Structures are given as C-alpha cells and as structure tokens.
C-alpha cells in the first residue's frame, strides 16, 4: 500500500434530504406552541381559581374602560369649620353594554335581571337590540357583589365603568345647607349647587370649609326634633350665628331628609325653612321697633305709653295679648310684648323713617348669602300708616328666619358688620354693612332683651350659668279666611351671653300645640323659649364659654327701677319696671373701640 492509500481523505457527512429538515422544524414549532398553550392554561386556571375562591367581602378590581378622572369631574370635599367631613366623592362601578357586541339582546337583558332585579328587562332588551348604538347604560352605581356576579355570567358586550359617587356621611344632619348632587355628580341644591365651580374647577384648591360646627348642629337638631314632637308642630327651624361676624354655626330645618337618598324625600322635607321660607315673625320685630325709635330719638328709654285701651286706626283696633290695661314704660312694652306700645312707638318714628330702618336692618332685600334657596321678603307695595303699625309687631311684612336673626344682630351689635354667611371663602369677601344703629342704642337694646328674659315674656329662656337676652314671637298665620284660626308660628330669639353677645339662637315652631306643662299655651314664650334654653345649655360648653361673672348681672340690675303698678285687667297691683335714666349706657373709654370688623357686641357692658 502506498502512502496515498494509507492517508485517506476524511469521510464527508451524508447529504441530508429536504424532507428531514422540515420534520425537525415542525417538531420545534410544536414544542414552542405547546409551551405557550401550557402557560396560557396555567394563567387561566389561576384566574378562575382566584374568582372561584374570592371572598364576597373583598372588593373587585375589575378592568374599567376609563379612569374616573377621564369620565367624570371630581368634586372637592365639604367639611365643617373643624375639618369634619360632610360630603366627599367615592368611586363606584356602573355597568353598560355595547349593542354591537351583545349576543342575544333579550337573553342578555333577562340574564342581567337575575343580578340587577330592579331593571326593566323589556326596555333594556329593546335598547340592546339597537345596532346603531355603541353605548347603553344598564345600571349606574352597582355594588361590588353585583359586579362580581355579573362578571361570572361572562356576557359578551357587557362592561364596567368606574364613576365618582357623592356620599354624605352626616346624612340628614346638614341636608338643607349642603344640598345634594344628581346622578352625573352635578350640584342640584344647597352648597353643592351654589358653589358648583368651586367644588369642581377648584377641586385642587382643597376642601370647601363651611362655618357650620357639627357639634352645635347636632345639638340644635336634637333639641328642635324633641320640641317638634312634643308640641306636635308641623315643623320648625333653628339658626345659631356668631353675633359679630355673621358666621352661621348651625342651620336646621325640620322635616329634613337624607341627601344620600334625596329622591325619596318630598317637597316639604326638602324645603329649607331658614332661607326659603318667608314668615310674619310677630313680636320679634318689637326689638327692631324699639331700636329705630331710640336711635332716631323719636322715643326715650324713660318714656311711657298709655295701653289702657286698644290702639285705634280707622276701622282697625290693635289689642294686647294678656293686656295689663295701664301705662307701660318702654322697657315694659318690650318685656311684656305690648302691641299697643309698639304701634305707638312706630307712629312716633313715622312711615318713611321706619321703612329706612328696615332697609338698614337688611329686611327689604333678598339676603346676600350665596345660596340659591333664598327667598325674597314680602312687604307692602305701598307703605301706608296701617302698615307702619302692623309691621311694628311683625305683621304685614314677611322675612326669612335668616334675615330676622341677621337684623337683630345688626341692632344689638352696633358698628359695621357683614351679613350672615356659611362659606368663609365667600362671606369674608362680602362688604361690611354700615352700622344700623349707634353703639348707645345697641347697648340699650341688649338691656331690654335681658329684661325680657329676667322679668318678662321670655322667662322660660333662662339658662343656669349664663346671662341670656331674648325676645318672644308669636304670629297668627294667614289662612284662606285671613287671620284668626289660632294657627301660630311661635318663635324665640336668644342672645348669649347678653353682657357681651357672642351668639344668637333663633327657634321657630310651625303650628305648635300646648300641653299640660305649658297650660295649653303654644306661644313662643312657652314652646320656643325653653327649646332655645336647652340648645344654649348644651352648646355653650361646646363653644367654650365660661360661666357668667356676677359683676355683669349687677350692671343690668343697676339700670333697672322696680316699682308697683295697678293692673287694670286683673284688678290688682303688680311689679312695674323702668329704666333709671338716659345716661350711663356706654362707657366712653370703650365706645371708641367699637365699630370695627370684630364683634363689637358688648364690651361696653363690661362692669368697671
């Protein structure tokens, strides 16, 4: 064998046929697809297991077609002055369908009705059959459990969308002030409607803070509810306001409603008596009549009026309830709530001047508080002398309780002040109103209101630990046949502490009925006054007010003369009351500090 034979060339691999290559490639693809299928089945199995064992209480985190922010404008929270939550947005799921993807409209509607039992299946089936639409609402704001059960049905074309839903954790407590929103989360009443732009466009500015104090609000509602039930009244209202600033701490109207379910409330329940209502408030107006009479110098606080006989004007005869049939001092006219004395004061002031003072008190125009549910006052088209007389004791002119409490605050505080408000962002920008009366007149009015509670018709408004001033009101309601059917709107306005007013509380009761404890009397002094007293006794500590200083009461007593007078109706002698004189009502050293933007409500009464 030669060298060439011993060193053979290497063997070449056998040539592979085209068919073998294709087989190997096919096997590789099958292995890859098998792995994908296995992973898919594992993922599907895990998801089905998750759905099968999920707890009913666990929230469903379903895929939504849009984020809430993309679908609906969010509203800012509403809180009270202490930051406690009144209204907020909560994400809730709604279910809808795409008719083009729905298989069997009627069957789909019937299947959905097994979960959503309150839907109209016939109407839904018709809407799902409309192939020209790509969007049909099935149900807005469903529960997590309902969403979970619908998901398990696996209905083609049925999908979910997350929306914002407004909730009111305080329920009916603040319903009339805060209002409510519609299904599209748009404001329909109260703060929600009046401050729509602030709550939506101003969402990122933070919560909208109100002046309300939920603690005081709860006390006011509780005591009013008790009074309405006890005296079988048709309804009632409470307002609690800071005297100097005009900030409303409480506003309650009964009957009320739950804004979470506002559609179930009737018109009477949704009616805000404090702002929408216009009422003849009766003898509350005598405080204002005394204020304009004293401020204009038409009457002196030491004057007397003959109330032996009814006051006559043309065919009208003005009488006193429980008439004393004797001469009454100005303090007695207010303390005993004499219609005759008030009428004579008003005649001394005159028609033109009375109308001007009513305008100063803010009673002749719509109140500027920025709420849509605010009524216009009702007044005579032509102000005649008889209107001057009847308006002096609160008849013939109808205003809202809000306007009444604001007017009395203007009268007893003196100095410029802002009208009542509930949203500081708006109220603190409102222009100051000029002083309605001078500081000396305001001091005299506070003394007169103290006398009403200390010795007069408001005795049931006394509160241990505080000096209270007040004024009763009892107005006959006009009916189809005029006045005289004994239907009353009873009220009492309390001021505390009267030596340096910080707060006013106004309670009204609509057609209350007296009971044995009130000797069957339903007037304000018997029904509304004790209600105000209970509110003050509970709200005072919440507001941090200390007990009265004994020296403060001495200041009031030093200006009171007590004597004896003959009651012509009862035919016997009784105590009489008068003011000591015209001077000494305002300390000069303090007078110069009044009239600013603060309270200015009674540092002039500080003894010293």
- In the set 175, 283, 392, 400, the catalytic residue is 283
Question: Are the beta carbons of 159 and 98 closer than 8 angstroms?
Answer: yes
Query: Is 283 a catalytic site residue?
Result: yes
The predicted structure's pLDDT at residue 602: 43
Asked whether the CA dihedral 283, 287, 288, 292 is positive or negative, the reply is positive
Where does residue 584 fall: left (phi above 0), alpha (psi -120 to 50 degrees), or beta otherwise? left
Mean pLDDT by 10 residues, the chain (608 residues): 47 52 64 60 53 42 41 86 96 90 90 92 89 87 91 92 91 97 92 96 95 98 98 97 96 97 96 95 96 97 96 92 94 97 97 96 94 93 93 95 97 93 91 94 97 97 95 85 77 96 97 94 96 97 88 92 94 95 68 38 40
Distance CA 167, CA 150 (A): 24
Phi, psi angle pair for 79, to nearest 5°? -130, 160
CATH of domain 68-209: 3.90.1310.10
Question: Are the beta carbons of 59 and 73 closer than 8 angstroms?
Answer: no
217-605 is a CATH 3.40.710.10 domain: yes
The predicted structure's pLDDT at residue 486: 74
How far is Cα of residue 295 from the mean position of the Cα atoms in its chain?
Answer: 34
The predicted structure's pLDDT at residue 26: 61
Residues in a beta bridge with 509: 236, 490
- Nearest 5°: CA angle at 212, between 207 and 215? 115
Phi, psi angle pair for 56, to nearest 5°? -60, -25
- At 465, list the tokens: 């630990």
The predicted structure's pLDDT at residue 23: 59
Q: Which of these, 436, 584, 441, 524, lies nearest to 227 by C-alpha position?
A: 524
Q: Token pair 């007593």 is at which residue?
A: 557
The CA distances from residue 335 to 286, 394, 446, 449, in Å, are 10, 16, 12, 8
pTM of the model: 0.82
**Domain assignments of the chain as residue spans, ordered by start:** 68-209, 217-605
- Mapping DSSP onto H, E and C, the string for 346-381 reads HHHHCHHHHHHHHHHCCCCCCCCCCCCCCCCCECCC
- At 127, list the tokens: 């809407």
Distance CA 338, CA 321 (A): 8
- At 261, list the tokens: 């379910």
């Amino acid at each position: 064998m030669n060298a060439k034979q011993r060193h053979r060339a290497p063997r070449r691999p056998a040539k592979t046929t085209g068919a073998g290559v294709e087989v190997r490639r096919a096997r590789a693809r099958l292995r890859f697809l098998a792995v994908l299928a296995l992973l898919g089945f594992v993922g599907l199995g895990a998801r089905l297991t998750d759905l099968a064992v999920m707890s009913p209480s666990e929230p469903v985190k379903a895929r939504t077609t849009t984020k809430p922010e993309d679908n609906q404008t969010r509203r800012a929270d509403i809180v009270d002055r202490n930051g406690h939550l009144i209204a907020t947005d909560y994400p809730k799921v709604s279910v809808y369908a795409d008719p083009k993807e729905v298989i069997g409209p009627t069957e789909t509607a019937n299947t959905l009705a097994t979960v959503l039992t309150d839907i109209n299946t016939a109407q839904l089936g018709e809407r799902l059959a409309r192939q020209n639409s790509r969007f049909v609402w099935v149900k807005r704001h469903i529960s997590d459990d309902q969403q979970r059960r619908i998901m398990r049905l696996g209905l083609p074309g049925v999908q979910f969308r997350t929306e914002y839903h407004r909730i009111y954790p305080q329920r009916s407590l603040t319903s009339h002030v805060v209002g409510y929103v519609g299904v599209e989360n748009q404001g329909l009443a109260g703060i929600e409607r009046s401050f729509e732009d602030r709550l939506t466009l101003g969402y990122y500015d933070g919560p909208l803070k109100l002046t309300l104090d939920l603690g005081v609000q709860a006390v006011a509602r509780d005591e009013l509810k008790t009074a309405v039930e006890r005296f079988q009244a048709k309804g009632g209202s409470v307002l609690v306001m800071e005297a100097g600033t005009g900030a409303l701490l409480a506003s309650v109207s009964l009957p009320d409603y739950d804004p979470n379910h506002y559609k179930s409330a009737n018109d009477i329940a949704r009616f805000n008596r404090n702002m929408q209502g216009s009422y003849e408030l009766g003898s509350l107006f005598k405080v204002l009549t005394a204020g304009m009479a004293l401020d204009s110098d038409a009457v002196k606080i030491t004057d007397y009026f003959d109330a032996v006989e009814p006051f006559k004007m043309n065919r009208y005869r003005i009488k006193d309830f429980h008439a004393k049939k004797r001469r009454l001092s100005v303090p007695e006219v207010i303390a005993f709530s004499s219609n005759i004395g008030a009428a004579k004061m008003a005649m001394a002031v005159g028609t033109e001047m009375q109308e001007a003072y009513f305008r100063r008190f803010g009673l002749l125009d719509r109140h500027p508080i920025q709420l849509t549910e605010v009524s216009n006052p009702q007044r005579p088209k032509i102000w005649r002398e008889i209107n001057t007389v009847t308006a002096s004791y609160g008849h013939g002119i109808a205003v809202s309780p809000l306007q009444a409490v604001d007017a009395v605050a203007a009268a007893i505080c003196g100095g410029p002040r802002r009208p009542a408000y509930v949203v500081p962002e708006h109220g603190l920008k409102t222009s100051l109103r000029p002083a309605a009366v001078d500081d000396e007149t305001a001091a005299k009015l506070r003394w007169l209101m103290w006398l009403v509670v200390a010795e007069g018709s408001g005795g049931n408004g006394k509160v241990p630990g505080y000096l209270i001033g007040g004024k009763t009101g009892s107005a006959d309601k006009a009916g189809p046949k005029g006045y005289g059917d004994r239907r009353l709107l009873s009220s009492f306005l309390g001021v505390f502490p009267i030596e340096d007013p910080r707060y006013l509380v106004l309670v009204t009761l609509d057609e209350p009925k007296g009971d044995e404890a009130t000797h069957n009397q339903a007037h304000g002094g018997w029904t509304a006054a004790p209600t105000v007293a209970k509110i003050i006794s509970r709200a005072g500590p919440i507001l941090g007010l200390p007990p009265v200083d004994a020296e403060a009461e001495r200041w009031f007593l030093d200006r009171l003369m007590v004597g004896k007078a003959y009651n012509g109706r009862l035919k016997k002698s009784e105590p009489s009351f008068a003011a000591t004189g015209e001077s000494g009502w305002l300390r000069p050293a303090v007078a110069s500090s009044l009239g600013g933007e603060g309270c200015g409500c009674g540092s002039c009464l500080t003894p010293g």
